[in-house]
Amino acid sequence: MARRHKPKTPPAKQRFSGAESHKPKTPPATKQSFSAAERSALYARREAANVLRSILRGDAERRAVASIKSLVFSPSVRNKRATFALVCETLKHLTVIKDVLEIANVLNSKWKRQEPLVYIICYDILFGKDTPSIGDAEKFLMRHKDALLSGLATLLVRKKVESVDQLLGLSKLNGHLKPRYVRVNTLKMDVDSAVQELEKHYTVQRDETVPDLLVLPPGSDLHAHRLVANGRIFLQGKASSMVAAALQPEAGWEVLDACSAPGNKTIHLAALMQGQGKIIACELNEERVKRLEHTIKLSGASNIQVFHGDFLGLNPKDPSFVKVRAILLDPSCSGSGTITDRLDHLLPSHSADNMNYDSMRLHKLAVFQKKALAHALSFPQVERVVYSTCSIHQIENEDVVSSVLALASSLGFKLATPFPQWQRRGLPVFAGSEHLLRMDPVEDKEGFFIALFVKTNKLDNPKPSELPERECRRRRKERTMQLHPFLCPKMFRALSRTLHRRRRKPVLCINSED
Ligand SMILES: C[S@@+](CC[C@H](N)C(=O)[O-])C[C@H]1O[C@@H](n2cnc3c(N)ncnc32)[C@H](O)[C@@H]1O
């Protein structure tokens, strides 16, 4: 269960001590009375320091921690807006803050152990609007305010710049104004009603590519909106919403979501299938399985079966999977297309020094992605496979697709063209890459990649009359054997000839698949 910090009234004797614990504390009642604003700012600095500690620790260990947004928007953070702003601003200014602290040389060993909190308070002192006045760490740093400001002046002179913005190259980040996309969960609400409801407070447009997607102005904050809380709409980006739509699963199919948590695309599949048929949602990571289950519950979908395990370990011939007709494969990737969105570009690890580390990591990811895509194609009844990443790297995108082309072709698959009207296609590194779909981090505000494989005999949904004679014969035989499984080959041929002669159209070609 998610923990929530509740303000407690501490015992009279308890002091708001200098040993700043990792949990935000509500300031105690003291003789001096503090304003509600001061107390709230103090609390936000403690919450921000906790989030910053997790982020910096994960980043230093190159461990995949949750994104900054998801850490801040976890239920345990009370003052989300203030905490988010403080964490982002501190991270943006972190290199400067560290340099200033080094020049000013004011930290003793006690405060060096509290670095995340020190960084947050330094941000407030050097660049923030408020001057912190309560809290031991704040009082300590405020005593050294002059030394910090003079450290900043020295830094500007050393770097030969006139402003902190120049120092940070902040202009690079401007102009990244991305609309807020929301996907209507058509299992619970129709698109018209969602538009009507949202239009009470926002300007709403329908997305021109994905039918159940709505576009709201950048910065629209819907995290606490009623429709989000009750699962009628989901805060899902455009690229992410294009994947299930590209797969086009039919109502009643069995579909496998190979790497599914937190489940945004899984529940989109369920909505596209109108809650009919079956979706198997596979996920390796136990923690993320919980998030997946939460998403599914919120969506109201009742046709999703969660499978906690390794997608590569699934046996395609196992009776549980033989009926799978479509696979959505959205494997772990570098996320390089969404770093501005996730704010990862603010992290210390996103510097030029880490190029080597990145290429090793990319290589490892690509090895998994290739194996997973080849595995997806090998399910016996599968006729559509969509592969997607939120990466901009060729090694995770076109190279992965090209590595399975021979296998795909031997199994009867071809690359199809999802969203043919979309302009940006794959990098021209192999014949056929024009079928692939790319989104550009600058033009489309996020980097994304989609490839769609379709069994050749399903391409363009051919009508029976358009099928080659050999395929017609095969289907006729299959259908007759289903109707009369006891027929011997000779009887089958006789019956088939009679039926074929009697009717003009090859009716036995018309099976439910067509
Ligand atoms: C990019 S995320 C999927 C996002 C998801 N499709 C969505 O839209 O919400 C990739 C997921 O694959 C999971 N994963 C990684 N390797 C896996 C494997 N071998 N089998 C199953 N899941 C795996 C990761 O834990 C992660 O949750």
Q: Which amino acid is at 507?
A: V
Q: Whose CA is nearest to atom 13 of ligand 1?
A: 259
Same domain for 483 and 437? Answer: no
Q: Which CATH number characterizes residue 222's domain?
A: 3.30.70.1170
pLDDT for residue 415: 98
> Measured in angstroms, how far is the CA atom of residue 396 from the centroid of ligand 1?
15
Q: Using alpha carbons, list the distances in angstroms from residue 246 to 50, 111, 242, 265.
A: 40, 53, 6, 11
* 403-434 pLDDT, tens digit each: 999 999 999 999 999 999 999 999 999 999 99
| Ligand 1 centroid to residue 283 C-alpha, Å | 6
Which domain-ending residue is among 173, 196, 222? 173
Residue 204, domain extent: 180-234
> Is the CB of 263 within 6 Å of ligand 1?
yes
260 lines ligand 1 (CB under 6 A): yes
Ligand 1 atom at minimum distance from 258 CA: 21
Q: What is the DSSP string of 427-450?
A: -SSSTTGGGSEEE-TTTSSS-EEE
Q: Are 414 and 291 in the same domain?
A: yes
**Cβ(310) to ligand 1 under 6 A?**
yes
Please report whether residue 19 resides in a domain: no
Q: What mean pLDDT is predicted for residues 362-382?
A: 97
Look at residue 91 in the predicted model and tell me its pLDDT.
Answer: 87
Q: Are residues 444 and 384 in the same domain?
A: yes
Contacts of 174 by beta carbon, 8 Å cutoff, 6+ apart: none
Q: How far is the CA of 331 from the centre of ligand 1 (A)?
A: 5
- The reply to whether 365 falls in a domain is yes
Question: How far does residue 257's CA lie from ligand 1's centre (Å)?
Answer: 9
Q: How many domains does the chain have?
A: 4
pLDDT in the model for residue 65: 55
Whole-number Å distance, alpha carbon 487 to ligand 1 midpoint, is 47
Residue 464 has pLDDT above 50, yes or no: no
Task: Give the 3-state secondary structure of residue 245.
Answer: helix
- 104 and 187 in a single domain? The answer is no
Catalytic residues: 390
Identify the DSSP state of 425.
B
Q: Which long-range contacts (CB under 8 A, 24 or more apart) does 362-370 make?
A: 362/334, 362/393, 362/395, 362/396, 363/395, 365/331, 365/332, 365/333, 365/334, 365/396, 366/395, 366/396, 366/399, 366/400, 368/331, 368/332, 369/331, 369/333, 369/396, 369/400, 370/400, 370/403, 370/404
Residue at which a domain ends, from 149, 173, 197: 173
Give the Cα-Cα-Cα angle 439, 445, 449 (nearest 5 degrees): 20
Atom of ligand 1 at shortest range from CA of 335? 1
Side-chain-side CA neighbours of residue 154 (13 Å): 14
| Rounded percentage of the chain residues whose pLDDT exceeds 70 | 76
Residue 29 lies in a domain: no
Helix (H, G, I), strand (E, B) or coil at 183: strand
In three-state secondary structure terms, 234 is strand
Annotated binding site for S-adenosyl-L-methionine: 259-265, 283, 310, 330
With 50 as the cut, is the pLDDT of residue 152 above it? yes
| 452 and 481 co-located in one domain | no
For the CA of 389, the nearest atom of ligand 1: 1
Instruction: Annotate 448-467 with DSSP letters as a single string.
Output: EEEEEEEEGGGTT---GGGS
pLDDT band at 317; cut points 50, 70, 90: very high
| Mean of per-residue pLDDT scores for the chain | 81
| DSSP assignment string, 151-179 | HHHHHHHHTT-SSHHHHHTGGGGTT--PP
Co-location of 328 and 400 in the same domain? yes
Instruction: Indicate whether residue 67 lines ligand 1 (CB < 6 A).
Output: no
Would you say residue 389 lies in a domain? yes
- Domain limit, last residue, from 156, 173, 190: 173
Indicate whether this complex's ipTM tops 0.85: yes
Establish whether residue 283 lines the binding site of ligand 1, counting it when its CB lies within 6 angstroms of any ligand atom.
yes
Rounded to a whole number of angstroms, the distance between the first and last alpha carbons of the chain is: 48
Name which of 466, 457, 465, 380 is nearest 416 in CA terms.
457
- Asked whether residue 154 is domain-assigned, the answer is yes
Q: Using H for helix, E for strand and C for coil, what is the string for 381-418?
A: CCCEEEEEECCCCHHHCHHHHHHCHHHHHHCCEEEECC
pLDDT in tens, 249-270: 999 999 999 999 999 999 999 9
Q: Ligand 1, from 279, 296, 306, 332: best to mutate by most atoms within 8 Å of Cβ?
A: 332
Kindly report the protein residue whose alpha carbon is nearest to atom 12 of ligand 1.
259
Give yes or no: residues 206 and 299 share one domain. Answer: no
118 and 207 belong to one structural domain? no
* CB of 236 sitting under 6 A from ligand 1: no
Instruction: Looking at the structure, tell me whether residues 83 and 224 fall in a common domain.
Output: no
SS (H, E, C) 37-70: HHHHHHHHHHHHHHHHHHHHHHHHCCCCCCCHHH
- Residue 478 falls within a domain, yes or no? yes
Residues 482 and 354 placed together within one structural domain of the fold: no
User: What is the H or E stretch that residue 351 is in?
Assistant: none
- Is the C-beta atom of 288 inside 6 A of ligand 1? yes
Give mean pLDDT, residues 214-227. Answer: 91
Substitution site in 283, 294, 386 for ligand 1 pocket (most atoms within 8 Å of beta carbon): 283
Query: 165-174, 323-332, 503-512: which has the highest mean pLDDT?
Result: 323-332
Binding site: what residues are annotated? 259-265, 283, 310, 330
pLDDT at 507 over 60: no
| Mean pLDDT (whole number) for 367-385 | 98
Relative to the CA of 261, which ligand 1 atom is closest?
27
What is the rounded CA–CA span in Å between residue 202 and residue 206?
13
**275, part of any domain:** yes
Q: Which one of 259, 264, 310, 334 would you pick to mutate in the ligand 1 pocket, going by the greatest count of ligand atoms within 8 A of its CB? A: 259
Cis peptide before 316 (omega within 30 of 0): no
Instruction: Determine the residue of 67, 210, 238, 284 to mutate for testing ligand 1's pocket, defined as the one with the most ligand atoms within 8 A of the Cβ atom.
Output: 284
pLDDT at 478: 58
Across 310-316, average pLDDT? 98
Nearest 5°: phi and psi at 203? Answer: -85, 125
CA 390 – ligand 1 centroid, Å:
12
More confident residue, 73 or 95: 95
Q: Determine the pLDDT at residue 140.
A: 93
Please report the sign of the dihedral spanned by the C-alpha atoms of residue 69, residue 71, residue 72, residue 75.
Answer: positive
Domain assignment present for 13:
no
CA 262 / ligand 1 centre spacing (Å): 8
Q: Which of 10-14, 394-398, 475-479, 482-486 has the lowest mean pLDDT?
A: 10-14
**Ligand 1 near 284 CB (within 6 A):** yes
CATH number of the domain where residue 368 is located:
3.40.50.150
| pLDDT higher than threshold 90 for residue 499 | no
- 194 & 82 share domain: no
Residue 66 C-alpha to ligand 1 middle, in angstroms?
A: 13
Q: Are residues 167 and 191 in the same domain?
A: no
Count of CB atoms situated within 10 Å of the CB of 180: 16
Task: Give the per-residue pLDDT at 134.
Answer: 87
Q: What is the pLDDT of residues 42-74, one digit of tens each?
A: 888 999 998 888 888 877 765 555 667 777 777
Kindly give the number of the ligand 1 atom that is closest to the alpha carbon of 285.
Answer: 25
